Homo-oligomer: A and B are copies of this chain.
Amino acid sequence: MEEGMSGFCNRSGSFFSKSGSSGTKCGRWNPTSEQVKLLTQLFRSGLRTPSSDQIQKISDQLSFYGKIESKNVFYWFQNHKARERQKRHKLSFDDKYANSKENIIDVSTQIFGGMYEVPEVDRVTETLQLFPLNSFDESESEKFRVHANECSDNMMFSYTMGGQVEHPPLDLCLSFI
């Protein structure tokens, strides 16, 4: 059933896995319907970003219905929230009869309408900024913003990438830097 999966999820590719070794099969969690149901229920109750204890407890509970780890719960909420939001965004474009009010900007807040029973975790987080600065479509304006200085207090970055600096063949030694 789940033996055919080659397992490893490598993203950047370009390396080989010793798939032969061990049972590391990296199979991913797939939730049972009860688990999904309960998670969804929680989400719809307003829980968006569970704290660690909450995650922990949820995970505990859900483990009754099937194998699960805390991180699964964590990811689930992250993904669910993100996708809900992105769906919203898409919809706001598409939704003709969405009556103009603040459907474009305020999407996230109107979902839950403020009926939280949830402790206090969210409601701040969701109103962050939907489009930071550089949303998805900067396209050719300029993708490399020079806003690097905000990383740290006084950090100034310079770009040397096009340069013709003498590079060491293949190694970076700490002592050098």
**A172 contacts the other chain (Cβ, under 8 Å)?**
yes
Interface pair B61/A168, CB less than 8 Å apart? yes
A157 contact set on B, CB distance < 8 A: 52, 55-56, 59-60, 63, 68-71, 74
Question: Chain A contact residues: over half helix, strand or loop, or mixed?
Answer: loop
A155 contact set on B, CB distance < 8 A: 52, 55-56, 59, 70, 74
* Closest B residue, CB atoms, query A141: B17
Q: A25-B136, A53-B154 are in contact. List 15 more A-B contacts (CB 8 A).
A: A10-B141, A12-B12, A18-B141, A42-B174, A47-B174, A52-B154, A55-B157, A56-B158, A58-B177, A60-B110, A60-B157, A60-B165, A63-B161, A67-B159, A69-B94
Interface residues of A (CB under 8 A from B): 8-18, 21, 23-27, 30-34, 36, 38, 41-42, 45-47, 50-64, 67-71, 73-75, 90, 92, 94-96, 107, 110-111, 116-118, 134, 136, 138-144, 146, 148-161, 163, 165, 167-168, 170-172, 174-177
